[in-house]
Amino acid sequence: MPPRKIIIDTDPGQDDAVAILLALASPEELEVLAITAVAGNVPLDKTSRNARVICELAGKPDVPVHEGCDRPMERVLVTAEHVHGASGLDGIELPEPTMPVADLHAVEAIIHHVRREPRGSVTLCPLGPLTNVATALTRAPDIAERLAGIALMGGAYFEVGNVTPAAEFNIYVDPEAADIVMKSGVDITILPLDVTHKALITRDWLDRIEALGTPVSKVVCAWLDFYERFDVEKYGGAGGPLHDPCVIAWLLRPELFSGRRINVEIECQSDLTRGMTVADWWGVTDRAANALFIGDIDADGFFDLLAERVARL
């Protein structure tokens, strides 16, 4: 089978970074057409820089990195330096990237690739707020039926929220964009906190990565040591959740995950519950299913896959 064509829309972020490395380490299964940066964890200039740092670290400076929207569709940008550090990629000093930013705006790049590639061959992988993706769907509605699907990290049902009591960060930052995506008719898979909070980084796994002794493994350990400190303090327990790599792992090994095809709507009105993913997990409404909502993961299998792929870089 030829590799699946993907576009990674992202706001790196250490967990975004590991997701990108996982995809770039898997060329037999995944062809990364482009990386599109969006404002989220940190402002756009930093997410663009970080995406290019990650490509160069992986030895893939030819993957085009496009800069996209610098703020949500209708709201003021909310960022997460308290989790990811001032740079978004705190944990280790890395050289400034030398690869250029690609010419097209990220929204135009998404539209371009989806229109140019065969119908049903491109999957979008949003790992941050959905601003770029929703803007592309609004500007070029024809791409909805051309997409193979959208596999995104965002939302929660049983875990409810991480940035407010009701909402997960990526959806909270741009709920109007999430609403557009959920209503797009595209085949959507959601990797919510319900599953990523079962993908907890452990000391043993970090030791295993460190033992690889490669430049990339050293960087991954430094990033994740920094990144998980916030969540370990917040939630207690063993380790921080490794959110965004779940999206790429789902593409590579869907058998590691399970979920339900359900209706998911986004709360855009209420100040109290802004960005809540109202997920009909129990089928208590007659609203039509619009997403595969993942609920469970084989965490050992997930971390084995990640270690195996990090070792390739």
Q: Is 69 exposed, middle or buried (0-12, 13-18, 19+ CB in 10 A)?
A: buried
Q: Select 146 or 259, whichever has its Cβ closest to ligand BDR.
A: 259
Contact between 297 and ligand BDR (CB under 6 A)?
Answer: no
- Is 82 among the residues known to form the active site? no
Q: Select 235 or 281, whichever has its Cβ closest to Ca ion.
A: 235
Contact between 231 and ligand BDR (CB under 6 A)?
Answer: no
Q: Select 37 or 276, whichever has its Cβ closest to Ca ion.
A: 37
Q: What is the smallest separation between the CB atom of 170 and Ca ion, expressed in angstroms?
A: 6
Q: What is the smallest separation between the CB atom of 83 and ligand BDR, expressed in angstroms?
A: 5
Applying the rule CB under 5 A, the residues between 126 and 145 that interact with Ca ion are 127-128
Containing 264, the helix (H) or strand (E) segment is strand 264-266
Contact characters 123-152, ligand BDR, x per CB under 6 A: ----xx------------------------
Contact between 83 and ligand BDR (CB under 6 A)?
Answer: yes
Q: What is the smallest separation between the CB atom of 52 and ligand BDR, expressed in angstroms?
A: 17
Task: Name the active-site residue from 66, 84, 197, 243.
Answer: 243
Q: Select 13 or 239, whichever has its Cβ closest to ligand BDR.
A: 13
Nearest to 196 by CA among 68, 73, 19: 19
Q: What is the smallest separation between the CB atom of 155 and ligand BDR, expressed in angstroms?
A: 9
Nearest to 40 by CA among 133, 172, 150: 172
Q: What is the smallest separation between the CB atom of 37 and Ca ion, expressed in angstroms?
A: 11
Decide if 195 contacts 152 (C-beta within 8 A): no
List the single partner that 102 binds among Ca ion, ligand BDR, none, CB under 5 to 8 Å by kind. Answer: none
Of 162, 189, 263, 290, the residue at the interface with ligand BDR (CB under 6 A) is: 162
Stretch that binds ligand BDR, among 67-75, 165-173, 213-221, 276-284 (CB under 6 A): 165-173
Omega before 13 cis (within 30°)? Answer: yes
Q: Is 119 exposed, middle or buried (0-12, 13-18, 19+ CB in 10 A)?
A: exposed
Residues in Cβ contact with 201 at an 8 Å cutoff, skipping those fewer than 6 apart: 224, 228, 238, 239, 240, 241, 242
List the single partner that 131 binds among Ca ion, ligand BDR, none, CB under 5 to 8 Å by kind. Answer: none
DSSP 155-200: --SSS--SSSSS--HHHHH-HHHHHHHHTS-S-EEEE-HHHHTTSB
Residue in the structure block whose two tokens are 């995104």 = 152
φ/ψ (deg, to 5) at 291: -160, 150
Q: Select 14 or 26, whichever has its Cβ closest to ligand BDR.
A: 14
Of 9, 16, 174, 194, the residue at the interface with ligand BDR (CB under 6 A) is: 16
Nearest to 129 by CA among 51, 40, 44: 40
Strand pairing class (277-279; 264-266): antiparallel
User: What tokens does 301 get?
Assistant: 């299998």
Q: Measured between alpha carbons, how far is residue 162 from residues 242, 243, 252 in Å?
A: 14, 12, 27
Q: What is the smallest separation between the CB atom of 47 and Ca ion, expressed in angstroms?
A: 9
Binding site for Ca ion (CB under 5 A): 11, 13, 16, 127-128, 244
Binding site for ligand BDR (CB under 6 A): 13, 15-16, 41, 80, 83, 127-128, 153, 162, 168-170, 243-244
For the annotated catalytic residues, the residue numbers are 243
